[in-house]
Structures are given as C-alpha cells and as structure tokens.
Chain A
Amino acid sequence: MIAYIIQRLLQSVLVMAAVGFVAFSLFAYVGDPITIMLGQDYNETERARLAAQLGLDRPFYVQFANFVANAVQGDFGISYRLARPVNAVIRERLPATLELSLIAAFLALAVGVPMGVYTGLKRDSWLSRFFLTVSLIGVSLPTFLIGILLILVFAVILGWLPSFGRGETVQLGWWTTGFFTKSGLKALILPSITLCLFQLTLIMRLVRSEMLEVLRTDYIKFARARGLRDRAVHFRHALRNTLVPVITIAGLQLGAIIAFAIITETVFQWPGMGLLFIQSVSATDIPVMAAYLCLISFVFVVINFVVDLLYYAVDPRLRVDRGAVGGHG
C-alpha cells in the first residue's frame, strides 16, 4: 500500500514538473511582455531597464530554475499587468471560480442523474426523447454560444437576469461569496447553467446507459423474482450499481469544470481565475499564466491521485493482483 502511494506520488510530482516546464517554455512564444508594458513610448534604455527588473535578461534555464525554486515555496512573483503578487490575485479569484464550479457540478449531478434514471427506465416516453434531444444540443453546441444565447434571452430580451459579473458579494475572511445576496444568487444562474450543461448531458447519458446495462443483468431479474417492488429494484439495486462509474467520472469532471470555466467566465465577465488567465494571456502576464497552469495541473493531479487511491480501497482485486505480482517479482 505504502509503496503504491509513494509510486503514485512520485508520478504526480513528475507530471507537475513536466507541466511546469512545458508551460514555461511556451511563454517564449506568446510574445514579449515588455513591448506590451512599454507600448508606444518604447526605447532601448527603457527596455533594458525593465528586462533587468523583471529578470527577463537572464538565460532561459536560470529563469526556469528560479521559477521552480520560488514556485515550490508557493511564490509566483508579481503580476506584470496588475503590479500585485500573483498569490494574492489568485486567492482573490479562487472563490468566484470555485463557487461557480461547485454549483455547476452540483447542478450536473442533481439534474443529470434523475434525468438519466428516467430516460433509462422509460426509454420510449416522449419526455425521454425530449431529454435526449435536448442533451444533444448540450453536447454539440460550444459553451460560449450557449452562454451568449442565454444572455440574449434572459438578459437582453426578458431582462430577468444580469448578463455579466458576480453581483454583490459578502466577505468571509479572505473568501468572497455571492451566496448571501439576491444579486449574487441571480448572477450565478446563467453562468452555472452554461458551465454545467455539457457535464449534465454527459452524466445523464452515462447514467442512462449504465441503467440499461444493469437492468439487463441476472441480479435484477432475481431481485424482481424475489418480488421486490419496482421502486426498490430501480433505486436500491440498479441505481446503486450504476453510481460507481458515475462518481469516478463526476470526480474527474470536477477538474474539467474548474479548468474549462475559462470560457464561461470570459462570456459572463465572471471575476474568477479563468477570466484572469485570459486577460493575462492578452497582456503576456507570464507570472499569472504560469501560476494558473500549475494550479490547474495541481488540481488534476490531486483528483487523479485521490481517484487512484479510491480504486485501491474500493477494488480488492487491485490489491490482490499487486500482491501477486510483487510475490512473483
């Protein structure tokens, strides 16, 4: 068990280092931050001065070594664009992204699972067909288009919901939340729908196909033969068995939601990390981009790690096999 964990941990570290290196090398191609910072009043002395200030006059490997040494201590330097420490900026944006992502993930599960169960059980009802058709739209339309369509309908035409921003927020320590104000809650609706739609349809289709699969098994037939009511068969026996893969996928999708919040945040001017990243790209704000990419890869690595551990805990076969392999070696 310990050897397994250590092995997975080492792999995670390796992945992080690789991401860091790739991200950092990419920055050589995104443009020159100094040009952006100096603009029209550019001249050579100014350029040299700023390059020295930012440490950009040093060779690539020195810059990378510095970056890693600082990043390990959690220091990502100072944002070129905002002139503030990257950590502080990210900490300010984190709550917005996490609130949006968690609400979206919750919506995807809370709506996706029942819809999947329903369409699995009542395959031929018109409502099932309707759900499946709608889910096709969710899978096939790009996120930004869905967001803009929602804005058009609910903000411009109907005027019910705000088209941008997070509304009023309440400060709880360093965390800002939109959960406690009316405008904050209203502002959450459109972005969270936009963000969850893809995952929602994914989960719905997954649950549906798993349900169809499980309902065909002997185990269900025996349950019915035992005279159990439909309700117990469907929910206690069938649904439970479908949930194992659903939870795995949902866990991994949470990482995806956080990462792909970029598009939703840009469309709704949601002041989270994704929007920060996009704005940093256009300003070639290397420290923020590096920190963001590292953070996102960290989220994925952690989720993967946890999922791996869960497998190990949940699936006894994995343990037996490993032990057997170890014995032979």
Chain B
Amino acid sequence: MKIQWAALAAATALTIGLAVPAEAKSFRMAVAGDANTMDPHANNAGNTTLILRQVYEPLIHRGQKLEKIPGLATEWSNPSPNVWRFKLRQGVKFHDGSTMTADDVVFSIQRALAPTSDFKLYVSGITEAKKVDESTVDLITSTPNPIVPDGLPRVHIMSKAWSEKNNVQQPQNFRNKEETFAVRNANGTGPFMLRAREPDSRTVLVRNPNWWGWSQPGMGNVTEMVFTPINNDATRFSALMSGEIDFVLDPPVQNLEALKRNPKIKVLEGPENRTIYLSMDQKRDELLYSNVKGKNPFKDVRVRQAVYHAIDAEAIKSRVMRGQSVPTGSMWTEFVNGYSDSNEKRLPLDRDKAKKLLAEAGYPNGFEVTLDCPNNRYINDEQICVAVAGMLAQIGIQAKVSATPMGTHLPKLQKDDTSFYLLGWGVPTFDALYTLQALIRSRGQGADGSFNYGNYSNPKVDALIDQVKVELDLGKRRQLMIDALKLHNEDVGNIPLHHQMIPWAMASNVTAVHQSENQLDLWWVKVD
C-alpha cells in the first residue's frame, strides 16, 4: 500500500513536472497512405483511424494489452438486459475549450448510427442513446447485448455544439457535392490537437496539455507529430534510413533485414489481429472454374481435408513471409474473445494422406481449379497463393492462380463468382461473433454469412452461432464460440493459413507500444 502511495505521489509529481515537457519532442511518422477524412464517423479505414484516435476519444479506451479501460466513461454497467449505463468523466474539455457533456455523447452515438456513418458496425444493436442526467448516458439495445462495450473503443465522441455550428451533424454524404467542415477540421477531447491538415502531404498534431489522461502512468513525451504519407516503398524506407522520419508503421517486408542490421533503427514485431485463410465453394453442384464436370469435389470433406493436409504453413512462413506470420488452425487470433488453444492445431502436413483422401473421394489424379487471390491487400498475398498452388500440385491438384487488386477481387467474390479463394479477416470488435457470423454462419439476414462466399453451411454450427447472439452469460457464450469453431474446423469449412505479423520500424531512440490493430497510440510514444 505504501509503495502504491509513493508511486502515486511520484506519478503526480511527474505529471506536474511533465504536463508541459521542458523539451519539445517532435515525432515524424510515415505510412504508405493518408487518412481520408478527419470526420470521425465517415470512414472506417486504418489510415483514417490512425490520425483520428489521437485527436478524438471514445467512451472506452483499450489498454496496452487491449483490455477495456476507462476513456470518456469512467465506469459502465448493464443494469437491465437491454440497457448499458455509462458514467461520464467530469471536467473533460474539447480542444475548443468547451466542456464535454452527456448531450455530446448522446449526439455522437446517434451520429455513429446515422445512415451515412461508416461506424454503424460498432454500435450495432443499439437503438437509442439517452441522457439520464448530466453525467450519465444509457445506451438502449433492441435485444440483450453483452458486447456493447467491445465496439465502443472505435466510436469517437464529438462536440454537439461544434457540429451544429459547422453544419456537420451527419457524417459525409456523397450526394451533397461539397466538402463538409469536418473533412479537414477536428475538435476532439484527445491527447493531441489537429494543427495542420494538407491531404496526401502533411498532417500536424500538437500535444493537448489539458488532456485528462497525461497523469496516467507510462505516458509518452511527444509534443508534436508530423504525419507524412509516403506511398513509394523505397522512398519510405530511405526516409527512415536517412533519419528524416522517426517511425514507419508499414516498412516494406523486403527491407526488414536491412533495417534490422542498421544500428540506428529498431524493428518492433507483433501479430496483427488478422487471419489469412482459404475458402472453397461448397454449395454448387458443379464448380465454376474446374475441369471436373457434373460434380463439385469441394463438397466432399475428404477433398477439403486433402487440400489442408497438402499445405505447408511453416514453409509459407519461412519462405514467403520471411518469418512474419504465425501459422494457425484458428479463424481468429489470441486477442479475440472466443479464442482457445484447443482450436489452434492445424491438420498436419501429410502429402501421402492427402493423396489417399483424394483417391478415396474419387480423384486419384487430382483436378484443376482456379484460385482467386488479391494482390495488393495483405502482406505477400499473391505469393502466398502461388506457394499454395505449388503445394497442391504435389498432390495432383492443379490450382491456377488468378491474382487481381482487391477492388476487383472482392466484387468477384461478392457475386459468388469463385471456386476457391484467399481472403484475410480482422476482428475490430475483438469478439469472435464478428467472424462466426460473417464467415462461418450460413447466409441469412443481415451480417449472417455476409462474407461466406464458399457457402459453408452446417446447421449445428448455425444453431450455436445463433445461441451466441443471445447468450448473456459471458462464460457460456465464450464456450459456445469455441464449440462452433471446433465443429467448423472438423468440417474444414475454411482453411486458416496464418495470422499476419506486422513489423513497425523506428529510430532507435523511439519507444512505442506495438498494437495488434496496427494502430499507433501516440500518447505512449517516448522519444529520447
């Protein structure tokens, strides 16, 4: 207890001392692409969130281990099944000096629910935000929903008065052919304030000395951040090597060795909350892109198992990914609620068994099929497909790789115009229902099966997933998700390959906290 008091006292002393660090610490950062807008609810893209998360704040933050910690709400509870109640932090100021109130929170949640919002996913199930009193807000859900708090770290709180004054009560609507004020201006409560915004060129953030959170332990010392998008891999790499940039969020994989050898640079590696997987058309009676006529080999579980047994995920890791992947048998990562080691085991690499399974299924000489693949979305996506095709050739399956940009790949899948494809899936809610619903459940209403282009379908799995949606006991709910994945894995509904690793590269005097969503939290960054 004594020690804690001492720590607290020390922290407070430090805070007072550090509230305005004596020395200006500038931090220059580069990423391949720029943020698309400063509107907090208009564009749910990684590069956009990367800037906005420094400026705006959610009700609930995520800590260094991705645990939910108080943000603009100090505590939250579930007083009745359809109500989530949030106690708001008092005395928080927006960057324009106004005080954050319950009205701002209600307004922001409703703005995130608007038809033009790109963040509806994170408030799904919420029907209404209600002010209870000046420091309390209720979120009402249509059905009991235990995971409301898990979506909220992505929902930023805006000032109602500022939005009304600048006529940005709704997120960007492309029908109004003009720029809204919120596209290049921001007024949040967060640790950094937007100073300059030149799209595709430069965005400058400065430290908000009045941020309530600076008093927490482990805070960084950056006073100014200059964000530059550098599209070209070689230039981004050079800018870091020459010391013009302190931090690169997406260093080119082919340059990692050179970066690691450079004593002035350090590389921080960690898994991303994203899983790369293969999927097969299991519904059609005849595959669209195959030489097998009159039947669909992928309908036979033995063929799917054979494909699985033929894939050497370790070889993909060492040869294609240069070590930057975690081979997996699970459809989601360890960061996600519903993860279990028991589902992690892959079917082992066993070509003889694969050949035997193929023969038993009636394809002793294999068959031909087209493997659709993106070529600009995931790390080395096209090369992974080429490697898989090589591995399948060894058991007689001739996979022809068709690699296209994501803008072409995904619409093709959305038309169900595929027999065999590669895709990656992240879990922004950190809850496995997100994956189970979109990738594994049969097609149905809403998000059910919305990305299940292989049309995997098992009524038992569907029943489990539907139970997850309404189960309020978190322990039981978690077990249901584990069971559903177990059944799916036995069916080989999809073939997970690996979790993608994301390396960050930075000058050796920079300390940053690696984060599986590939987002940098600037408030933890220290520059020595």
From B44, B177, B242, A163 is in contact (CB under 8 Å) with B242
- Residue of B at shortest CB range from A34? B411
Whole-angstrom CA separation of A80 from B172 in the bound complex: 11
Whether the pair B228, A152 counts as a contact (CB closer than 8 A) is no
Whether the pair B228, A78 counts as a contact (CB closer than 8 A) is no
8 closest A-B pairs (Cβ-Cβ)? Answer: A31-B407, A271-B201, A84-B179, A32-B411, A53-B174, A155-B242, A163-B238, A156-B242
CB distance from A184 to the nearest CB of B (A): 13
- Residue of A at shortest CB range from B376? A282
Of B34-42, B61-69, B279-287, B347-355, the one contacting chain A is B34-42
Known: A39-B45, A78-B178, A83-B180. A165 touches B238 (CB 8 A): no
Number of interface residues of A (CB under 8 A): 51
Taking CB atoms and an 8 Å cut-off, the chain A residues in 39-89 that contact chain B are 39-43, 49-50, 53-54, 75, 77-78, 80-85, 88-89
Taking CB atoms and an 8 Å cut-off, the chain B residues in 110-148 that contact chain A are 115, 118, 120-121
From A81, A85, A276, B177 is in contact (CB under 8 Å) with A85
Taking CB atoms and an 8 Å cut-off, the chain B residues in 225-269 that contact chain A are 228-232, 234-236, 238-239, 241-244
Most buried by B among A40, A80, A271: A40
A159 at the interface (CB under 8 A from B): yes
A20 at the interface (CB under 8 A from B): no
Q: In the complex, what residues of B have CB within 8 A of residue A284's CB?
A: 407
Most buried by B among A50, A159, A166, A271: A271
Q: Scoring B residues 61 to 104 as 1 if CB is less than 8 Å from chain A, else 0, what string do you get?
A: 00000000000000000000000000000000000000000000
Q: Scoring A residues 269 to 287 as 1 if CB is less than 8 Å from chain B, else 0, what string do you get?
A: 1010001101100101000
CB distance from A189 to the nearest CB of B (A): 15
Known: A156-B242, A164-B244. A267 touches B202 (CB 8 A): no
CB distance from B153 to the nearest CB of A (A): 16
From B34, B121, B228, B243, A165 is in contact (CB under 8 Å) with B228
Q: In the complex, what residues of A have CB within 8 A of residue B244's CB?
A: 155, 162-164
* Contacts A/B (CB < 8 Å), 17 sampled: A31-B407, A35-B410, A36-B407, A37-B43, A40-B426, A40-B428, A50-B174, A82-B36, A83-B172, A83-B180, A84-B199, A151-B235, A156-B241, A162-B244, A164-B236, A266-B232, A269-B229
Given contacts A35-B411, A38-B118, A163-B235, 15 further A-B contacts (CB under 8 A): A39-B44, A42-B414, A43-B446, A53-B173, A78-B177, A83-B37, A83-B174, A83-B183, A152-B238, A162-B244, A164-B236, A164-B238, A165-B202, A165-B228, A267-B235
Whether the pair A164, B235 counts as a contact (CB closer than 8 A) is yes
Whole-angstrom CA separation of A268 from B184 in the bound complex: 24
B416 at the interface (CB under 8 A from A): no
Taking CB atoms and an 8 Å cut-off, the chain A residues in 129-180 that contact chain B are 148, 151-152, 155-156, 159, 162-166
Whole-angstrom CA separation of A92 from B202 in the bound complex: 13
From A35, A84, A88, A166, B201 is in contact (CB under 8 Å) with A166
Q: In the complex, what residues of A have CB within 8 A of residue B361's CB?
A: none
CB distance from B15 to the nearest CB of A (A): 34
CB distance from B519 to the nearest CB of A (A): 15
Whether the pair A159, B243 counts as a contact (CB closer than 8 A) is yes
B406 at the interface (CB under 8 A from A): yes
Q: In the complex, what residues of A have CB within 8 A of residue B387's CB?
A: none
B200 at the interface (CB under 8 A from A): yes
- Residue of A at shortest CB range from B175? A53
- Residue of B at shortest CB range from A47? B414
Taking CB atoms and an 8 Å cut-off, the chain A residues in 65-122 that contact chain B are 75, 77-78, 80-85, 88-89, 92
Whole-angstrom CA separation of A268 from B244 in the bound complex: 13
- Residue of A at shortest CB range from B115? A49
Known: A35-B411, A43-B447. A163 touches B115 (CB 8 A): no
CB distance from A75 to the nearest CB of B (A): 8
Q: In the complex, what residues of B have CB within 8 A of residue A267's CB?
A: 232, 234-235
Q: In the complex, what residues of B have CB within 8 A of residue A49's CB?
A: 115
A15 at the interface (CB under 8 A from B): no
Known: A41-B121, A80-B174. A165 touches B234 (CB 8 A): no
Whether the pair A31, B405 counts as a contact (CB closer than 8 A) is yes
B198 at the interface (CB under 8 A from A): yes
CB distance from B416 to the nearest CB of A (A): 13
- Residue of B at shortest CB range from A159? B242
B425 at the interface (CB under 8 A from A): yes
Whether the pair A165, B450 counts as a contact (CB closer than 8 A) is no
CB distance from B260 to the nearest CB of A (A): 16
Whole-angstrom CA separation of A92 from B36 in the bound complex: 16
Whether the pair B179, A83 counts as a contact (CB closer than 8 A) is yes
Q: In the complex, what residues of A have CB within 8 A of residue B174's CB?
A: 50, 53-54, 78, 80, 83
A30 at the interface (CB under 8 A from B): yes
CB distance from B333 to the nearest CB of A (A): 15
Whether the pair B44, A30 counts as a contact (CB closer than 8 A) is no
Whole-angstrom CA separation of A148 from B235 in the bound complex: 7
Whole-angstrom CA separation of A269 from B241 in the bound complex: 16
From A151, A155, A269, B231 is in contact (CB under 8 Å) with A269
Whether the pair B242, A271 counts as a contact (CB closer than 8 A) is no
- Residue of B at shortest CB range from A284? B407
Q: In the complex, what residues of A have CB within 8 A of residue B376's CB?
A: 282
B408 at the interface (CB under 8 A from A): yes
B209 at the interface (CB under 8 A from A): no
Q: In the complex, what residues of A have CB within 8 A of residue B173's CB?
A: 53
Q: In the complex, what residues of B have CB within 8 A of residue A43's CB?
A: 446-447, 450
Whole-angstrom CA separation of A92 from B37 in the bound complex: 16
Known: A31-B411, A35-B410, A80-B174. A271 touches B179 (CB 8 A): no
Taking CB atoms and an 8 Å cut-off, the chain B residues in 410-457 that contact chain A are 410-411, 414, 425-426, 428, 446-447, 450-451
Q: In the complex, what residues of A have CB within 8 A of residue B201's CB?
A: 165-166, 271
Q: In the complex, what residues of B have CB within 8 A of residue A83's CB?
A: 36-37, 39, 42-43, 172, 174, 179-180, 183
CB distance from A97 to the nearest CB of B (A): 13
Q: In the complex, what residues of B have CB within 8 A of residue A275's CB?
A: 200, 231
B33 at the interface (CB under 8 A from A): yes
Whole-angstrom CA separation of A267 from B232 in the bound complex: 6
- Residue of A at shortest CB range from B172? A83
Whether the pair A279, B33 counts as a contact (CB closer than 8 A) is yes
Taking CB atoms and an 8 Å cut-off, the chain B residues in 145-202 that contact chain A are 172-175, 177-180, 183-184, 198-202
Whether the pair B411, A271 counts as a contact (CB closer than 8 A) is no
Whole-angstrom CA separation of A194 from B229 in the bound complex: 21
CB distance from B406 to the nearest CB of A (A): 7
Known: A84-B183, A162-B244, A163-B239. A36 touches B231 (CB 8 A): no
